[in-house]
A and B are shown apart, each in its own frame.
Chain A
Amino acid sequence: MIRFERVSKRYAGGHDALADVSFEIRHGELLVLAGHSGAGKSTLIKLIAGLEKPTAGKVWVSGQDVGTLRPNQLPYLRRSLGLVMQEHRLLNDRSVFDNVMLPLLVTGYPPRDAAKRVRVALEKVGMGEFEKSMPLTLSGGEQHRVAIARAIVNRPSVLIADEPTAHLDPAYAREIAALFRSFHAAGVTILLATHDETLFSPYGARRIELAKGRLQA
């Protein structure tokens, strides 16, 4: 599904974010990407979404070499991924409903079916009652849930989350973790970057760990 072949990423300043990273996520797998902040987790996710290009090596997503995709092909790659970024990046001037609707608008989904899908996604993350709320009136945990709903509304085959439980109290974090567990049970391939891997250890997830840009054995 997603394969890294000896991938390195050096930023313009000379900082090596990733060095010689190789691994694979198979279809239907739940993979936890562990590591301290600054270990290169976010860079790795950016490479998958085509937000950055590798300096060396190849990143394969569903058989496509992401590094060689032309700019007009990238949108279609991103539509196949459900991305939950670290800063959840909701649009604060739009309601919860409209935020979750955004991926469907962007892809030109028929509006009538779209509304139905948005409600289903919000129900799945337990935010069904908040569709008319504005993001800033919600708690941090609730905002995370909305961001997750936005990531799954397109029914992507891969769900990628960067620190989905950061800045949450343990109770909220456990709920979010359980949410990802349920998506995995439904057959979605999941990559979770987290510094708090103990949350996911009960689920028997495979884990890989990054330290200073290198995969630890």
Chain B
Amino acid sequence: MSLSLLPHGMALRQARLRLTAKPLNTLLSALVVAIALTLPALGYVLIDNLASLANGMSGKPEISVFLKKEVAAEQIQVIENRLRADKRITAIRFIGRDAALKQLAARGGFADVTGALSDNPLPDAFILEPGGEDPKVFEAIRAGLLAMPEVLHVQLDSAWVERLHAAVELGRWVALLLAGLLGAALMIVTFNTIRLQILTQRHEITVSLLLGATRSFVRRPFLYFGFLQGLLGGVLAWGMVQGLVWLIAPRVQALAQAYSIVVDLRGPGVGQILALLAFASVLGWLGAGLSVHRHLHDGAVD
């Protein structure tokens, strides 16, 4: 180790010794830090899973156009030709009312219902896929379709996907807000731990300053202590998030199956883990720094 790094190595070693000197205290403080971090981290991971689920669904809307019952087959052909001429529409699918009824009957649970019907209540329908992603264009197409006398109802199917995306964004934002709040809690925990340490080591600090120790020499072990405590808390939080995801995953799967969606709940990614550890250790460092700044001024040298 080069001579200029020597004080840092020493400070780090001293911080480690202080951590291991009272393992139970260290564990408890780290647990408080970990629990404070677990909530936002878990929230973020779950939101992230939801986001990737939402992204998997086509953000592109489908426009369902339901025709009035009395519209004749020739008229339907005319409408289809007109739609095909429209450049804003990239794909068109026609679902006749008989085909729609069959589809419904094929789906579990509805067979009895369809059997009980004397008359087919379903309308003929077109499913359109508009090009581009501009919601204004979708809206314009919808308005145009509604203006046709043969059209009963037009439904933009993208709305719920958009809502899901918005909800995910909101959730992400709430998780970050929570991280900010609980990050403050983390700093307060470190602040207090360091305050107690400075109190118990007042004599040693005084003697060191008397012997010509610089303030940064005295400060350094505390900063490393805060950093290590934060890091330890971060690692514990990582473990807790991983464990909770593992616990939740089968339940989510069961729920998803009921909606016939395949969900593979993932734990935090490498980037997220690194961000969590960095967040925890930097806040620990800052909390320690604030504490030292606040308490080392109170005349450690008499």
Cβ contacts A94-124/B at 8 Å (1 or 0 each): 0000000011011110110000000000000
Cβ contacts B1-26/A at 8 Å (1 or 0 each): 00100110010000000000000000
* Cβ of A9 under 8 Å from chain B: no
The residue of chain A having its C-beta at the shortest distance from the C-beta of B218 within the complex is: A106
Q: Is the CB of B302 within 8 A of A106?
A: no
* CB-CB under 8 A for A79 and B212, given A89-B207, A91-B203, A108-B7: yes
* Cβ of B208 under 8 Å from chain A: yes
Within 8 Å by CB of A103, from B7, B10, B212, lies: B212
Cβ contacts A69-103/B at 8 Å (1 or 0 each): 00110011111000101000101000000000011
* Cβ of A51 under 8 Å from chain B: yes
* Cβ of A49 under 8 Å from chain B: yes
The B181-224 residues at the A interface (CB cut-off 8 A) are 203-204, 206-215, 217
**Shortest beta-carbon distance from A31 to chain B in Å:** 21
Q: Is the CB of B212 within 8 A of A106?
A: yes
A102 to B10, CA, bound (A): 12
Q: Is the CB of B207 within 8 A of A49?
A: no
The B204-250 residues at the A interface (CB cut-off 8 A) are 204, 206-215, 217
Q: Is the CB of A51 within 8 A of B302?
A: yes
B215 — which chain A residues lie within 8 A by C-beta?
71-72, 75
A49 to B302, CA, bound (A): 11
Q: Is the CB of A105 within 8 A of B10?
A: yes
The residue of chain A having its C-beta at the shortest distance from the C-beta of B10 within the complex is: A105
Q: Is the CB of B213 within 8 A of A75?
A: yes
* Cβ of A150 under 8 Å from chain B: yes
The A116-175 residues at the B interface (CB cut-off 8 A) are 150, 154
The residue of chain A having its C-beta at the shortest distance from the C-beta of B302 within the complex is: A51
* Cβ of B301 under 8 Å from chain A: yes
B301 — which chain A residues lie within 8 A by C-beta?
51
Q: Is the CB of A110 within 8 A of B212?
A: no
Determine which residue in A71, A85, A89 has the highest number of CB atoms from chain B within 10 A of its CB, and name it: A89
A110 — which chain B residues lie within 8 A by C-beta?
3, 6
| Number of B positions contacting A (CB below 8 A) | 19
A72 — which chain B residues lie within 8 A by C-beta?
214-215
**Shortest beta-carbon distance from B121 to chain A in Å:** 87
A106 to B302, CA, bound (A): 19
**Shortest beta-carbon distance from B217 to chain A in Å:** 6
* CB-CB under 8 A for A89 and B210, given A51-B301, A51-B302, A106-B217: yes
| Number of A positions contacting B (CB below 8 A) | 23
The residue of chain B having its C-beta at the shortest distance from the C-beta of A90 within the complex is: B207
Cβ contacts A3-39/B at 8 Å (1 or 0 each): 0000000000000000000000000000000000000
Q: Is the CB of B204 within 8 A of A91?
A: yes
The residue of chain A having its C-beta at the shortest distance from the C-beta of B7 within the complex is: A108
The A32-82 residues at the B interface (CB cut-off 8 A) are 49, 51, 71-72, 75-79
* CB-CB under 8 A for A78 and B6, given A51-B302, A106-B217: no
Q: Is the CB of B210 within 8 A of A83?
A: yes
Q: Is the CB of B3 within 8 A of A106?
A: no
B209 — which chain A residues lie within 8 A by C-beta?
75, 78
A77 to B213, CA, bound (A): 11
The residue of chain A having its C-beta at the shortest distance from the C-beta of B213 within the complex is: A106
A117 to B53, CA, bound (A): 68
Q: Is the CB of B212 within 8 A of A75?
A: yes
The residue of chain A having its C-beta at the shortest distance from the C-beta of B301 within the complex is: A51
On A, residues with C-beta under 8 Å from B are: 49, 51, 71-72, 75-79, 83, 85, 89, 91, 102-103, 105-108, 110-111, 150, 154
Pull 28 A–B residue pairs with CB atoms less than 8 Å apart, ordered by A: A49-B210, A51-B210, A51-B301, A51-B302, A72-B214, A75-B209, A75-B212, A75-B213, A75-B214, A75-B215, A75-B217, A78-B210, A79-B211, A79-B212, A83-B210, A83-B211, A85-B210, A89-B210, A91-B207, A102-B211, A103-B212, A106-B208, A106-B212, A106-B217, A107-B212, A110-B3, A110-B6, A150-B211
Add 15 more A-B contacts to A79-B212, A103-B211, A154-B212 (CB < 8 A).
A49-B210, A51-B301, A75-B217, A77-B212, A78-B209, A78-B212, A79-B211, A89-B203, A89-B210, A103-B212, A105-B10, A106-B208, A106-B213, A110-B6, A150-B211
